Structure 1
Amino acid sequence: MSSIISGKSYQEILVVSDGILERWQSIVDLLAEFSNVPAALIMRVGEGLIEVFRTSASEGNPYPLGATEHYYQKCGLYCEHVIRTDRKLLVPNALEDPDWKDNPDVALNMISYLGFPILYPDSTPFGTICVLDNKFNAYSPKIENLMIQFRDIIEFQLAQLCHCVNLETELEGFRISERFDMTFPEESSTDPQERLQGLTGALVQANRQLQDEIQMRMQVERELKRAQQGAVAASKAKSEFLANMSHEIRTPLNGIMGMLQLLQHSELDDEQKLYATNAAEATIRLTALLSDILDLSRVEAGKLVIRSAPMNLRDCISAVETIFRPTAMGKNVVLTFDVSPDIPETILGDATRVQQILSNLLGNAVKFTDKGGINIDVHPLPVRKDGRLWVLFTVADTGIGICEDKLDRIFSAFEQQAEGYQRKKQGAGLGLAICKKLLGLMGGTMSVESIENKGSTFYCCLPFQLAGESEEVAPPEPVKNKGKASVLLVEDDCLSRLAVHKYIQSIGLDVQMAGNGKEALEILLKHSFDLILMDIQMPKMDGVSATRAIRSGKAGRRNMNIPIVALTAYAMAGDKDKFLASGFNGYLEKPFTMEDLGEEVQHFLASA
């Protein structure tokens, strides 16, 4: 079938009906939701033409309908490449892609892109269907398959429109397209009435065929929608399961860790101290494994949020050094840090995630190095035109190294160099996978050099924003000695309650206990306290309901502003912000060390 009708192309004469536009709107909305991206678009791209036919109504979509053509020029760069090459284009991270990273027209809200060409029936280009994200996104095969299905639906609908245009044109000349089985050669009957009847019959037959195809495609759309709804439900069920699993593991683990720490501070002989210390270290390792599993699931689900706030990079590095220096000294491994003085005192970034990346890298270096040393170098790179400061972190060790055939696998989840029953080092193989994914979310890069039996060097490059004068990191408040204070502990788990109770008493504070929120309100009506330590999940009345009741004055007006710290096993993304928004002043996730608890208590007692 020719794309030229009366000397004009489909692009020039084809008009997309409102009904089809509504169906295209449903397609991009479903695609954006399923892909968990800010924007999905159907664009028409031609010579000197960039037109957005439909764009998703998802929250945060930076590409609204009705924007100027110039607004879409940057997105059009990707789409024009798709049209020119007539194949899929996947750009997980334009800032690292050699074909795009130096292109000044790549905008920060278009870091990743996935697009497929949409063609007319004669294989000439109509445009693209694409998804865009403002962060690293590799897009799963499921998303690609869904986009292919949607592209096929759009191409079928375009084919219908083109067939109608052809039929209308032929009707004017009493000719029928070669698509239909019935043809009327010019030397056949010249009676216009007979030719019109034959043409009408052919049109009826073609219409039946099109209706059958439409029904089939609508069935495919319904199945896709059900599959998408099922995927959303499965994702929600997975998140709920992870949250429940985290809570149910952290609660007893907190009690075990607390009792072991109390045991360590009691009168023990050397052998008993060794047992208690080893058991406490095992609980710390189990806690780290649980956190790694949850972090990996958050990243893969796109629910891990990277924050940007004033931070002191030297403090981050010092905290990591404090954790690992005792272990390195115990192995007679020399640990050296070289932090460039050119790094500003305050920068903008996610201190927690930076510390997590460095902890994983340094933890691996200490684990796999039994002699020699480990060097950690931190140096800034020249500030770029966009104002970002890139910092290069280098962690080099003289450990066992990595064999060459394993280098491409070490960044995959649960992959380890040693396999089978003779592994010498413990671990789940999640640290480097999490580092790689975190760096991708933060816009950074990572590489490794290694020689087996000689050592490894890991390179991480991370971008930070320079901080203004008003964004300095506030120094910690000095702890004031207020003398003996009183604390109300609200906790339903017997083991955790006993451990916290004994520790609070050991630092010289009065403590009274309640088993749920209802008991806490009854106690507060009769007594006053300087601080409340509140569990979240409890029978009769949970911690959130109790806190809201206290803030509303149901425990007496004198207690409305009392500091309340959440001691909770809810540690999923967003939990801390949710609890602070509901009236809590502080948050401590289980399992916590008694030192962490002591710092939190002293902080709020000092500011009371």
Structure 2
Amino acid sequence: MSKLEEILALVRSINADEFQEQITYGDSLDDVHTELLYLSKKIESKKNRTNVIIDQISECYSGDFFSFLPISDAQDELDVFCMGFNTYIEELKEVMVSKSLLETINIKLVEEKERSEHLAKARDQFLSSMSHEIRTPLNGILVFTDLLLNNASLDSEGKKQLDYIKMSGDILLVIINDILDLAKIESGEITLFVKPFDLSKLTQLIHDTFLDKIEKKRIDFKISIDKKVPTILNGDSIRVSQILFNLISNAIKFTDVRGKIRLKIKFEDEEDDFYLIKIIIQDSGIGIPTDKLETIFNPFTQVSDNNARRYGGTGLGLTIIKKIIAIMNGKIRVKSKIDVGTKFTVTLPFAKSDYYLSGSELYIEKSKPIIEVDESKRIKVLLAEDNRINQILVQKVLSKFNLECITVANGKLAVQAVIEGDFDIVLMDIMMPIMDGYEASTAIRNLEDNTKKNIPIIALSAVVTGAVVEICNSVGINRYVSKPFEPEELYRIIIELVHE
């Protein structure tokens, strides 16, 4: 065998073993050349593929775990290696995806927690803003009405109309409070302000409020009051008004033209400290299905969507009054029959002496000590208030008690007035431009002059969210009075703090 034939046989053997290929079949120099060219190209291709594999494996160490190695048509040992490596990458990918999914879930949970906290903060800010925006004008309505009611020249008809405004405003205030702080009423953390009132007069006022609707529907509406019911009862007249207002409103709403409504007030029982009074409101209205009687006290619930569209309402009224009645240690029952009518029976205890309820507990109110006022020295009050109507209102209220009142429109001016002036007490609104009440109170408490830095401060604000009192205490505010305020109560607190 010639040298040429040996070289050709060797090259053909390599190609056959390595690449399972035999390119030529002759014994010429051209055959050797062809076989060597083929071998050279195959080796060069394998070298290039090996370099690509090495580069991609190196990238795995840099964090790119999910790059698959290329598979060629050669189906050689490099391809077998690449297929094995790719299988490993698939398994690794599943593990990494699971880990990534877990991390994503954790991130989502953190985001949801932050979102919930943000929503809670936004809700508090919204309630605070809504409380301020609604209660501020309501403060003007109610307190100016009080001032007008004390006008001796007012005739009986004018007084009656103002009584309607006052009662409607009081009920609106209570409803606003309940809606803005429904969680508070659900937990029973509401205070019942109790003083003597005439239940008969109150009932008649509420009836007269609905007189136009009663006459328009030609409803036969009759009121009967047991002679044993005391003329004057001690209780929270506003909450009692709210209960009567809601139940009478519903009775009129769901009673057809020429229907009947009966309001009966009965003396139920007498105990050592209480009178038990039963209030019955019965109508000849559309009635409530038996299976719905248990749900009518649930929030945002009406008997049917059709009723909601036809008669309107928020679906909160019965929910709120049931909770109020429970806090007053009373009971409410309902009986109803479709197309016959509905009967609500409310039983309430009324104390024989002055008291107030906080939550569901009973407290006997001790008489407050009488504070002697030095008539020779007129108390000078600084009012920080940005609402012009409320400025006029507070000035009129305080002038009635012979108090001098100077007003400023924001917290910054209040601090400046305390520094430059001589005041006995500060009435501080909370939400004001430039500098709010919290910032202004903090600045006053940081003054160097001991007399000025310790001046009594009363927060007089329409913001009634739960955190307000706590924040007031933290910045050195002595007392918190919510708008709308009772003029006599504000005067008493002013005298008490100035006296101290």
Distance 1:210 1:323 in 2: 77
Distance 1:574 1:305 in 2: 16
Partner of 2:345: 457
Counterpart residue identity of residue 111, structure 2? R
TM superposition shift of 1:296 = 1.8
Change (3 A) 1:248 1:208: same
Q: For 1:478-497, what aligned pairs fall within 5 Å after superposition?
A: 478-483=370-375, 484-497=378-391
Change (3 A) 1:285 1:333: same
Counterpart residue identity of residue 515, structure 1? A
Q: For 1:161-176, what aligned pairs fall within 5 Å after superposition?
A: none
Counterpart residue identity of residue 514, structure 1? V
TM superposition shift of 1:505 = 0.7
Q: Deviations along 1:563-585, whole A, 9 cap, x unmatched?
A: 22111011111212321332222
Partner of 1:409: 295
Distance 1:511 1:501 in 2: 6
Change (3 A) 1:593 1:414: farther
Q: Deviations along 1:290-342, whole A, 9 cap, x unmatched?
A: 1121122667xxxx87669xx9xxxx5854x738563125555538999xxxx
Change (3 A) 1:327 1:237: same
Q: For 1:17-56, what aligned pairs fall within 5 Å after superposition?
A: none
Distance 2:360 2:495 in 1: 33
Partner of 2:404: 510
| Mean Cα deviation higher: 565-574 or 367-376 | 367-376
Change (3 A) 1:230 1:437: farther
Partner of 1:291: 177
TM superposition shift of 1:222 = 3.6
Counterpart residue identity of residue 413, structure 1? P
Change (3 A) 1:234 1:439: farther
Partner of 2:467: 574
Q: For 1:40-79, what aligned pairs fall within 5 Å after superposition?
A: none
| Mean Cα deviation higher: 525-534 or 487-496 | 525-534
Distance 2:228 2:426 in 1: 41
Counterpart residue identity of residue 409, structure 1? T
Distance 2:405 2:121 in 1: 40
2:425 is equivalent to residue 559 of structure 1: no
Counterpart residue identity of residue 519, structure 1? L
Distance 1:589 1:464 in 2: 19
Q: Secondary structure at the match of 1:528?
A: coil
Distance 1:245 1:551 in 2: 29
Q: Secondary structure at the match of 2:434?
A: coil
Partner of 2:368: 476
Question: Structure 1 or 2: larger helix share?
Answer: 2
2:283 is equivalent to residue 397 of structure 1: no
TM superposition shift of 1:203 = 10
Distance 1:584 1:217 in 2: 49
Distance 2:270 2:182 in 1: 26
Change (3 A) 1:449 1:480: same
Partner of 2:225: 334
TM superposition shift of 1:590 = 1.5
Q: Secondary structure at the match of 2:127?
A: helix
TM superposition shift of 1:600 = 3.5
Counterpart residue identity of residue 559, structure 1? K
| Mean Cα deviation higher: 475-484 or 398-407 | 398-407
Q: Secondary structure at the match of 1:399?
A: strand
Structure of greater Rg: 2
Distance 2:102 2:277 in 1: 54
Q: Secondary structure at the match of 1:372?
A: strand
2:333 is equivalent to residue 448 of structure 1: yes
Distance 1:362 1:587 in 2: 30
Q: For 1:140-219, what aligned pairs fall within 5 Å after superposition?
A: 212-219=97-104
Distance 2:163 2:323 in 1: 33
TM superposition shift of 1:466 = 9.4
Q: Secondary structure at the match of 1:322?
A: strand
Q: Secondary structure at the match of 2:405?
A: strand
2:500 is equivalent to residue 500 of structure 1: no
Percentage of pairs with the same residue:
25
Q: Deviations along 1:234-284, whole A, 9 cap, x unmatched?
A: 232222222212112222322333334334444445555455444444433
Contact kept? 2:203, 2:244, Cα under 8 Å:
no
Change (3 A) 1:601 1:375: farther
Q: Deviations along 1:400-441, whole A, 9 cap, x unmatched?
A: 396344423322224457946875xx974424424667899x
TM superposition shift of 1:532 = 2.2
Counterpart residue identity of residue 334, structure 1? I
Tell me the number of residue pairs that the alignment of Structure 1 and Structure 2 aligns. Answer: 364
Contact kept? 2:202, 2:241, Cα under 8 Å:
no
Match of 1:246 among 131, 138, 154: 131
Partner of 1:549: 443
Partner of 2:144: 259
Change (3 A) 1:224 1:584: closer
Distance 2:440 2:227 in 1: 49
Partner of 1:46: none
Contact kept? 1:292, 1:430, Cα under 8 Å:
no
TM superposition shift of 1:603 = 4.2
Q: Secondary structure at the match of 2:135?
A: helix
Distance 1:459 1:288 in 2: 21
Partner of 1:44: none
Contact kept? 1:256, 1:495, Cα under 8 Å:
no
Distance 2:279 2:171 in 1: 24
**Structure with more contact order per residue of length (Cα contacts < 8 Å, sep ≥ 6):** 2
Q: Secondary structure at the match of 1:231?
A: helix
Contact kept? 2:429, 2:459, Cα under 8 Å:
yes
Counterpart residue identity of residue 456, structure 2? P
Counterpart residue identity of residue 544, structure 1? Y
Q: Secondary structure at the match of 1:289?
A: helix
Q: For 1:378-389, what aligned pairs fall within 5 Å after superposition?
A: none
Q: Deviations along 1:133-172, whole A, 9 cap, x unmatched?
A: xxxxxxxxxxxxxxxxxxxxxxxxxxxxxxxxxxxxxxxx
Partner of 2:479: 586
Unaligned runs of 5+ in 1: 1-200, 339-350, 381-390
TM superposition shift of 1:472 = 8.4
